[in-house]
Amino acid sequence: MFEKIAIIGCGLIGSSILRNINNKISKSVTVFDKSKDVIEIIKKENLCRDLSKDIQSAVKDADLVIFAVPLSAYKEVLLSARDSFKKDAIITDTGSVKKEVNKIFENFNLNNVNWIASHPIAGTEESGPSAGLKNLFKNRWTIICKGKNSNTDKVEKLKKFWEFLGSKVKLMTIEDHDHILALTSHLPHAVAYNIVKTAISADEKFKDEIIKYSAGGLRDFTRIASSDPLMWRDIFIDNSNNIIKILDEFSENINDFKKAIIEKNSEKLLKIFASTKNVRKEIIKAGQDVKSPDFGRKKD
């Protein structure tokens, strides 16, 4: 299907893609990562034979180039790669926000290549190539946002690539993507970081107790709040408009909730809880979670 795939950046996502590539999808695959530690791990785990020494040689002759670097690194990568892209190549990414990086691509005015953004909604709180998983994308959604000059055949080809990795694919506008992800991913992460911060800074006296008794809810937030710091800094800054708007709505809801508990408004509280319980059922029905994701805990 492809002659050569180039993966730029080989952390959790890049290495999970790498683990799926075989000669059914591409004759060859190359990886570039600027971190020596990452390259060491790839060698040690025998994940890829063809490691590129620079971005130019990685993208040269590649008909699919995948940016799997933090959002703040796109510009630097493009500056290195711009003159080495193969004619008609598909350039995609795996980033969690689209508007700002799309601007960067458009400003580069790349002719003869197809910039088509991708976002596989998959990941764990871990990072680095060792954290990659072959089945990370299986049954997960990947959102594709076409660039303004994207060739329809190339969009179809990229769709098939993600499907080969086990993913379901949805086409969406950049605006809808950034809005929906702000709700389903960026808001939960923003809140998780702040809830953990609140718990640990409230009282130095109780620090040990807070760790000890975290099984009542806090530990689940610490999982999300231990996601890759650099990646999340970039996401919050790139999608700040959507996130601020949604955090404002969230704060209004928190204020309503405080009022309800002060007034002992049982009816209002039960109405909120019933509606949120229902969302859980729909998520399980939609195959986006299993009924007991903490199965590993129950065994301990």
What residues numbered 197-236 form the site for a copy of itself, per CB under 8 A? 197-203, 206, 209-226, 229-230, 232-233, 236
Among 1, 99, 133, 150, binds a copy of itself (CB under 8 A): 133
Instruction: Give me the least distance between CB of 4 and a copy of itself, in Å please.
Output: 30
Q: Which of residues 164-193 bind a copy of itself (CB under 8 A)?
A: 170, 176, 179-181, 183-193
Token readout for 172 is: 């969406």
Q: What distance in Å separates the CA atoms of residue 120 and residue 66, rounded to the nearest whole number?
A: 12
Instruction: Give me the least distance between CB of 129 and a copy of itself, in Å please.
Output: 16
x/- letters, 84..113, toward a copy of itself (CB under 8 A): ------------x-----------------
Number of continuous H segments (helices) and E segments (strands) in the chain: 14, 8
- DSSP per residue over 205-228, as a string? GGHHHHHHTGGGTHHHHHHHTTS-
For position 258 contacting a copy of itself by CB under 8 A, the verdict is yes
Instruction: Give me the least distance between CB of 207 and a copy of itself, in Å please.
Output: 9
Q: What distance in Å separates the CA atoms of residue 126 and residue 15, rounded to the nearest whole number?
A: 12
Among 123, 153, 154, 160, binds a copy of itself (CB under 8 A): 123
- The bridge status of strand 64-67 relative to strand 50-51 is unpaired
- Please compute Rg for the chain using Cα positions: 21
Among 125, 128, 130, 164, binds a copy of itself (CB under 8 A): 125
> What are residue 5's DSSP bridge partners?
29, 64
Closest CA to 128 of 226, 215, 239, 11: 11
Q: What distance in Å separates the CA atoms of residue 252 and residue 41, rounded to the nearest whole number?
A: 46
Among 70, 139, 145, 151, binds a copy of itself (CB under 8 A): 139
Q: Which of residues 259-278 bind a copy of itself (CB under 8 A)?
A: 261-262, 264, 266, 269-270, 272-277
Q: Which is nearer to a copy of itself, 107 or 173 (CB)?
A: 173
